[in-house]
Amino acid sequence: MTLQARLSTLHQLAAHLTGPEDEFLTALQKRTEFNNAWFTLANQQASVKAIAEEFLAEEKLAAWLNGYKIIPVAGEGFVPQPGPNGEGQKTVGLVLAGNIPLVGFHDILCVYVAGHKAQIKLSSKDEYVLPYLLKLLARFDERAADYFELVDKLDGYEAVIATGSNNSARYFETYFAKVPHIIRKNRNAVAVLSGEETEEQMRALGNDVFQYFGLGCRNVSKLYVPEGYDFDPLLHVFHEWKTLQNHTKWKNNFDYNYALTTLNKESFHLTGPLMVLENKAIPSRIGTLHFEYYTDKAALETRLNAQQEEIQLAVAPPDFLHLDLPLFTFGEAQQPALYDYADGVDTLAFLLGG
């Protein structure tokens, strides 16, 4: 398939996902929710909507690819894009994460656009919807089926993109050492507040914290607030997410962490479904949010730049920070564009050999 033919199937998938309800897709989403209660129907639908509108929209795909040399030429790194008849095509092994719905779709998209074959090891937490999306691509053009293979174990791959925990990443680094690879570890987002945020900005920050139950690497897990910060307005806004306490798995985690925190006699701010704890660590447990005071913004910027291996992105008021990290305004943390690559590694450039 030519690049244009592959893009055509992606455009058709976008039209399908934004069109009338696909009852079979909805049934698969309900099955997923039954097997993994973190993946609620609403969150899965939000993920599908974001993919259709941000990753598959024709004009956004075109703008994204405009920054690359999408022709079969030699380059450094992996391999150039295959020719229109498939010559030069390689098999790329993908080990997908399962922390939020369809989190591995962007990797699959990059491999498909680059013209290579994706050998996919699905997460057991999200194994129903993604295969159906791939079948839809093949329905639009049967040749697309040759670009995807679902496997229980990777084999015969010539490059690998694997996402997991810090522990699994150490295993991946060793196991895939002999082939070109991208290995992703645990990361989280942080937010830096000025203390002058509006209620609207705080509500948008709530989305960055709570969307997908805070399980994504782009979810804010820690706040940096100025010395003497008044938490009351923020806690009042965050109370709007109190219905999370109706979710059994969230409630169980919250209750456990609440008991642990009180037994340890740690102080915390409490609102609705969340404890806000002073803690230097960037990752926070479910039902908790860490914070740390700062007095010198320039010194904080230096610290955050030094912790880039732990931070996926930073959220802050517009023009408030100057960082080497990706910066987003409140409410945009879980709205990545095609060029917002995980861990700052350009996946498509890797696949195109540049």
Domains belonging to the chain, first-starting first, are 3-186 (3.40.605.10), 188-328 (3.40.309.10)
> Which tokens is 176 given?
């895939």
Residue listed under structure tokens 């456990």: 256
CA–CA gap between residue 21 and residue 30 (Å, rounded): 14
CA–CA gap between residue 17 and residue 140 (Å, rounded): 13
SS3 134: helix
Among 93, 115, 256, 251, which Cα is nearest to 178's?
93
Write out the chain's pLDDT in tens, 354 residues.
889 999 999 999 999 999 999 999 999 999 999 999 999 999 999 999 999 999 999 999 999 999 887 644 333 334 456 655 556 789 999 999 999 999 999 999 999 999 999 999 999 999 999 999 999 999 999 999 999 999 999 999 999 999 988 889 899 999 999 999 999 999 999 999 999 999 999 999 999 999 999 999 999 999 999 999 999 999 999 999 999 999 999 999 999 999 999 999 999 999 989 999 999 999 999 999 999 999 999 999 999 999 999 999 999 999 999 999 999 999 999 999 999 999 999 999 999 885
